[in-house]
Amino acid sequence: MSTPNRKPVRVLVVCLGNICRSPMGEAVLAHEANKLGLPVAVDSAGTANYHVGDTPDERTVSTCKKHGVPIDHQARAVERTDFKDFDYILASDNQNLSNLQRMAPKNPKAKISLFGAFGNGKPIADPYYGGQSGFEQCYKQCVSYSQGLIKEIYGEDIYDTTESTTQPTPSKTSQL
């Protein structure tokens, strides 16, 4: 079931530096939506500007590639316009959620929440200083939370009624 005439739901995934958790969340959510042919436009950003312009951490890239998830991103910081441009802004952890709530203008268009609210409610631990197992755990959480968000938007039975497609993941410019 494809919904080509429906306006894409716009989602921003956020972590601290935008090189580990949020670009992985962006890639996984885009991949999950694409497999189902759903109109979801995804981007990611950081609440800090430490890595603006950098590519994702190599461990993030290798974890995504291991699981067949395309990833192509340049780090950026959250901007004030994001709060009106996106439907959902999803924080990787409680500290970033607090930062986003503090940064948000009054009455933002975007629903700001913890990414984990669409799963088991747990934050995504920052894998930056750990080993590969932390990136694998991050990946598993991103898959679970992405599927939860898709179910929230498109209905609980979306995975039962939608046939998977083999469409390539749209380029970043076509998603946004």
**Residues carrying an active site annotation:** 15, 21, 126
CA distance 118 to 107: 22
| Helix extents (H) in 7-120 | 21-35, 58-66, 82-85, 94-103
SS3 97: helix
Cβ-based neighbours of 115, under 8 Å, separated by 6 or more: 13, 25, 90, 91, 92, 124, 141, 142, 145, 149
Structure tokens at 117: 């609210």
CA distance 176 to 168: 16
